[in-house]
Chain A
Amino acid sequence: MNWITKMFSSSLGQKLIMALTGLFLCSFLIIHMVGNLQLFKHDAGLAFNKYAVFMTTNPLIKTTSYLLYAAILFHAFKGIALVFQNKKARPVKYQAFDGKANSHWSSRNMGILGTIILVFIAVHMSNFWWQYKFGTVPYTRYTENIQTGEIQSDYMPDNFTMNSKMEEQSEGLMKVTIVKDLFRSVELGFKEIWLVALYIIAMAALSFHLYHGFKSAFQTMGLNHKKYNGAINFIGIGVFAILIPIGFAAMPLYFFIK
């Protein structure tokens, strides 16, 4: 066996793969969060729809997104395999087991939390990503007054289609944009209470998953020192276990209540 397969098939190497893919997925969460904040803009979804076009056409982002899909699948299936592999290390279970005495609940249930997140990603992507790429998302025409900033939106007929996802034209002070209306899919989707509930449960799972996962990834990479442990904990808990899940959970709630 050469050194590289030896390293990545060792227990430490497999954990390193989990740590690196996990942190890559964390970096995506930030981008996804910042971009999706445009859902809260009062512009009938114009900025969000333009952003969706950019995210699905820019070659650099497209390349990164394929890396991301690979990382999601790898992290998920490697993680599930590791859970079963680790279970084999204790064939006879304890009759009395007091886990809470020595470790946090989330650290002992990463597999279950991760599975909830994986199910969520499947539902989330089939609802929006799949629909946007392969399904039928209707178009909307936005008429924007450049001077006043006033935006008027008109739904195009359901059978309307064109070759590109977006076309922009200027007519004097008026800027006309015809664009695939993913915003409308979001608005409609989040009227379903079961979907909103799934999103909130999944974001709670994400919070607990990252509460342990973020700092655990640094430990696996060998980065544990009192000089910077405070910063890792602060970012892991404050940003990834609190801010990000709350921010994402606020989106379906906002559209459900709106």
Chain B
Amino acid sequence: MSGNMNINLKVWRQKNGKSQGKLVDYKVEGVSPDMSFLEMFDVLNDRLVSEGKDEPIAFDHDCREGICGMCSMYINGRPHGPNQGVTTCQLHMRSFKDGDTIVVEPWRAAAFPVIKDLAVDRSAFDRIIASGGFISVNTGNAQDANSLPIPKDNADEAFAAAACIGCGACVAACKNSSAMLFVSAKVSQLALLPQGDPERNTRVLNMVAQMDTEGFGACTNTGACSAECPKEISLTNIARLNREYFAAQLGSDRS
């Protein structure tokens, strides 16, 4: 087919969490520019399976429409590759040139151990959510929506924070592997709304404590997280997390 590309891949291969990994070269020929990056990996895996010499490459993926946050490739030194505001499944081969060499690595963080090849264990995020990223609601009928006035600005900001899909690109991009953007988005979406108010102090204290326990690094405000976030979560959320945390430490009975 005309216009198709040949791509040289360097992919991180690692049998399991305990073994040593290394970059392995693959040549993928006849790649359509309209393929997504993951579809290019499907083509390569099909070939690896039919050749039978090498195991297929393990990588995370699910919805393939940019909302689940599963696809987690670190492409040419950037999470989710060169484009702004997209996940790997929304990255298309037209963003590359014929003959390009592309290095693909897993997210790197002590808190995100490699399971196999490009798949990492992101359950540290689940444990942070479980420590406080929720609101407690009694069962029964929902009350009338208009009985809880919420300023439009707050609703918008909460919604923008809630767009976080927990993909971990912030951790992957940060030189300190800090999870601050993720935690700040989860704290913000609830702190901005009246439903989140009763548990606001315990929430922020527990989530920060869990974040530190998991072994994520500290935030040095480089802004790499927000620049690479597929949902473009703002750094103002990190400032809000700092405010919420110090307010809870200095102004509440809890610690």
Contact = CB atoms under 8 A, between A and B. Distances in A.
A85 B208 CA distance: 17
Contacts of A14: 218
Nearest to A16: B246
Interface string A1-18: 011001100111111100
A212 interface: yes
Interface in A205-223: 212, 215-216, 219-223
B217 A85 contact: yes
Contacts of A216: 220-221
A108 B222 CA distance: 7
Contacts of A212: 221-222
A27 B238 CA distance: 25
Interface centre among A85, A95, A99 (most CB of B within 10 A): A95
Contacts of A16: 242, 246
B105 A96 contact: yes
A10 B209 contact: yes
Q: Which of B176, B218, B249 has the most CB of A within 10 A?
A: B218
A150 interface: no
A162 interface: no
A94 interface: yes
Range, interface on chain A:
35 or more
B130 interface: no
Given A103-B227, A224-B235, A89 B220 contact: no
Interface residues of B, number: 49
B212 interface: yes
B224 A11 contact: no
A104 interface: yes
Given A89-B111, A101-B77, A222-B239, A82 B218 contact: yes
A122 interface: no
A86 to B, nearest CB: 4
Interface in B209-232: 209, 211-212, 215-224, 227-228
A258 interface: no
Nearest to B250: A7
Contact of B222 (A98, A104, A223, A224): A104
B127 interface: no
Contacts of A225: 236, 239
A86 B221 CA distance: 13
Interface string A74-116: 0000000010011011111111111101111001101000000
B216 A89 contact: yes
A89 B176 contact: yes
Contact of A90 (B76, B110, B243, B245): B110
Contact of A219 (B178, B218, B235): B235
Nearest to A3: B255
29 contacts: A6-B249, A7-B250, A11-B208, A12-B218, A12-B246, A15-B219, A86-B218, A88-B215, A89-B111, A89-B177, A90-B110, A93-B108, A95-B10, A95-B105, A96-B103, A97-B77, A98-B77, A99-B77, A99-B175, A102-B224, A107-B223, A215-B221, A220-B221, A221-B246, A222-B246, A224-B235, A224-B236, A224-B238, A225-B236
Given A16-B242, A86-B176, A102-B223, 13 more contacts: A12-B208, A89-B215, A90-B110, A102-B222, A102-B228, A103-B175, A108-B175, A110-B220, A216-B221, A219-B242, A222-B239, A222-B240, A224-B235
Interface of B: 10, 12, 23, 74, 76-78, 82, 103, 105, 108-111, 114, 173, 175-178, 208-209, 211-212, 215-224, 227-228, 235-236, 238-243, 245-246, 249-250, 255
A-B pairs, top 5 by smallest CB distance, nearest first, are A98-B77, A3-B255, A89-B217, A222-B243, A224-B239
